[in-house]
A and B are shown apart, each in its own frame.
Chain A
Amino acid sequence: MSYVEAVLNGLMVGGLYGLFGLGLALAFGIMRIVNIAHGEFVVLAAYLGVTLLAVTPLPLPVVIVVVAIAAFALGWTLQATMLNRVLGPNPVPAMVITMGLSIVLRNVLVKLYGANIQSIDIGPLQTMGLAFGGLSIGLLPMLIFAIAVVLFVGVNLLLTRTTIGRAFRAAADDYEILETLGFNRRRIYNAALGLAVALSAVAGLLLAMRSSFSPFSGVERLLIAFEVVIIGGLGSLRGCFLGGLFLGVVQVVGLKLYPNSGPLFGHLAFFVVLLLRQSNLGSFLAWGRK
């Protein structure tokens, strides 16, 4: 695998990382909720996909849609039954709820599926590739990347062209005024978390086709989502997408350099970005001299 291929592969997995970040950023941007269970939802979607493929004759595209709908319903229900009860200026109660939920989900998955590493087998598509100009690129990663791009474009259209999308943005700006215009804030929040979880679930299912997962993969997925959001900047769709691509490229190229490095290079890159963001580096140095 040449470095060009590594970069291309990184971009393609980065599209999925962008989606992880987008789900987290939507929930935080609109409701100010830090969803600690985000990673577990991502893994849950992968297990749901595995089960559906194993026990039903549904073809893969239908399974993806079913998982997305189920995830939307789950996000909606979580917001409606639990998180809407702790709305307010203090973000901690919602964090505690989602953290508790993440522990529950993780252990339920271990109980149901065991702690072993799994992967989704989708047949010959997994190994098909295209070769051009001396490069060979897998067909599956390209398809997955295309889906990620379509979802980003779709969310952008939703946020700018539809009433519910504008309501999401307006709720982030000033939810009281939105209520005075006749919008039920809670319903909007339900839909927003539904969308956030659905996006992450689709990304989680797609990632499960390219790499393995276990009930304990959620934390790592959550970490990626956080890194994407912080690199890309909160509240920016494009930022999420670019942040995801950046992280994906760094990680895959890093893996090519040192095959045992795992996600190390992604985390290092994140750390470097954090350091560079410290625009008051000069004053920091001055402070050190005092």
Chain B
Amino acid sequence: MTLLALENVDVFYGDLQAIFGVNLHIDQGEAVALIGANGAGKSTLLRAMIGLTAARHGTVRLDGHDITRERCDLVARRGVAIVPEGRRLFASLTVEENLLMGAARARPGPWTLDAVFALFPAMREFRHHNAAELSGGQQQMVAVGRALLTNPRLLLCDELSLGLAPKVVGEIYACFAGIRATGVSIILVEQDIVRARSASNRLYCLLKGRVTLEGASDAVSLDAISQAYFGERRQ
């Protein structure tokens, strides 16, 4: 069953068009990867999905409801959460307070403070630290936990691996199985194509605001991806 569907979506920043007629959908329980070069419009597309930057044309539907121009906080309460690029923790709040902000307007569901601590046991150790004092990997765990605590149906993850050591990235991706087991759908923006493929059922490749490739992650060839990614003609 389709959870989120984008139909012919155009997104603008002021006069500048960043997304051109994108069609995209994700089913309940599915993991979809969104790949593409810097500036391809991946983050912009995520912003349109959660209502931070409303699509100018086209429609965004969540569970059949038109949420194209719905306010971000209302979309969030319908069950969309985001782990933003660069993590964006509340810097003057402690780790636990950051997590509590996620829980405060949460839908009913399996994710509680204890469940998040069980997912990232290390977080218990630094729960009373200020968010600004953490390492990048620790911050990423908190950002994921904060989003999970809203008990989303759809989790948008924007460049989880940005600026993190490969080992740390591996630890965070290792938790994905546990997250997906609760039935959450995940849209994954990722620069690391190998990781994006292995962590997703299907993938979309964006190039300059347009979808250039779409398919099952284990079926599309690296060749096809590189062509869609860079927009080169095959020799």
Residues of A within 8 A of B (CB): 163, 166-167, 169-170, 172-174, 176-185, 235
Cβ–Cβ < 8 Å partners of B77 in chain A:
182
Residue of B nearest to A178 (CB): B101
* A184 lies within 8 A of B101 (CB): no
Q: Which residues of A contact B82 (CB under 8 A)?
A: 180
Distance A6 CA – B97 CA, assembled complex (angstroms): 42
**Does B106 sit at the interface, judged by CB under 8 A?**
yes
Q: Given A176-B52, A178-B101, A181-B105: A169 and B76 within 8 A (CB)? A: no
B72 interface contact, C-beta 8 A: yes
Is the CB–CB distance between A179 and B76 below 8 Å? yes
Interface size on B, residues (CB 8 A): 25
Report the Cα distance A181→B92, complex, angstroms: 17
User: Across the interface, do B76 and A170 meet the contact criterion of CB distance under 8 Å?
Assistant: no
Cα distance A235–B91 when bound, in Å? 13
Given contacts A169-B90, A172-B92, contact A179 B101 (CB under 8 A): no
A180 touching B52 by the CB < 8 A rule? yes
B104: A residues at CB distance < 8 A: 163, 166-167, 181-183
Instruction: Report yes or no: A180 in contact with B105, Cβ–Cβ below 8 A.
Output: no
Q: Is B133 an interface residue (CB 8 A)?
A: no
Cβ-defined contact, B105 with A182, below 8 A: yes
Which residues of B approach A to under 8 Å, CB–CB? 50, 52, 71-73, 76-77, 81-82, 84, 88, 90-93, 97, 100-102, 104-106, 146-147, 150
Contact call A180/B72, Cβ cutoff below 8 A: yes
Whether B92 lies near A173 (C-beta < 8 A) is yes
A178 to B150, CA, bound (A): 12
For the complex with contacts A174-B88, A176-B72, A179-B73, 9 further pairs of A-B residues with Cβ separation under 8 Å are A163-B100, A166-B101, A179-B76, A180-B50, A180-B72, A180-B76, A181-B105, A182-B77, A183-B104
Q: How far is the CB of B17 from chain A (nearest CB, A)?
A: 21
Complex Cα distance, B82 from A169, in Å, reads 20
**Is the beta-carbon distance between B90 and A183 smaller than 8 angstroms?**
no
Q: In the complex, A177 Cα to B72 Cα: how many Å? A: 10
Hey, which chain A residues are within 8 Å of B101, CB to CB? 163, 166-167, 170, 178, 181, 183
A184 CB contact (under 8 Å) in B73, B84, B97: B73
Docked Cα-Cα span, A163 to B97, in Å, equals: 9
Contact partner of B90 among A173, A182, A185, CB < 8 A? A173
Distance to closest chain B CB from A240 (angstroms): 16
Query: What is the bound-complex CA distance between A170 and B72, given in angstroms?
Result: 16
The answer to whether A185 touches B93 (Cβ under 8 A) is no
User: 26 A–B contact pairs at CB < 8 A?
Assistant: A163-B100, A166-B100, A166-B104, A170-B101, A173-B90, A173-B91, A173-B92, A174-B88, A174-B91, A176-B72, A177-B90, A178-B101, A179-B72, A179-B73, A179-B76, A180-B52, A180-B73, A180-B84, A181-B73, A181-B76, A181-B146, A181-B150, A182-B73, A182-B76, A182-B104, A183-B101
Chain B proximity of A159: nearest CB distance (Å)? 10
Q: Once the chains are docked, how many angstroms separate the CA of A254 from the CA of B54?
A: 58
Q: Once bound together, how far apart are the Cα atoms of A57 and B105, in whole Å?
A: 43
CA distance A177 to B81 in the complex (A): 10
Q: Nearest chain A CB to B132's CB is how many angstroms away?
A: 10
Chain B residues with CB under 8 A of A166: 93, 97, 100-101, 104
Whether A170 contacts B90 in the complex (CB less than 8 A), given A178-B101, A180-B82, A182-B106, comes out as: yes
Give chain A residues whose Cβ lies under 8 Å from the Cβ of B76.
179-182
Which chain A residue lies CB-closest to B53?
Answer: A176
Give CA–CA (A181, B82) in the complex, Å: 8
Bound CA–CA A184/B104 (angstroms): 12
A180 adjacent to B93 (CB under 8 Å): no
**A179–B93 CB distance below 8 A:** no
- Give the distance in Å from the alpha carbon of A179 to the alpha carbon of B50 in the complex: 10
Chain A proximity of B130: nearest CB distance (Å): 11
Docked pose: A181 CA to B51 CA in angstroms:
12
| Minimum C-beta distance from B113 to chain A (A) | 14
Complex Cα distance A180/B89, Å?
A: 12
For the complex, give the distance between the alpha carbons of A167 and B106 in Å: 14
Closest A residue to B87 by beta carbon equals A177
A170 vs B93: C-alpha distance in the bound complex, in angstroms? 7
Nearest chain B CB to A182 CB, angstrom units = 3
* Given known contacts A163-B100, A166-B97, A185-B73, A180 and B81 CB-to-CB distance under 8 angstroms: yes
Question: How many angstroms between the C-alpha atoms of A177 and B101 in the bound complex?
Answer: 10
By a CB distance below 8 angstroms, the chain B residues around A170 are 90, 93, 101
- Closest chain-A Cβ to B44's Cβ sits at a distance in Å of 14
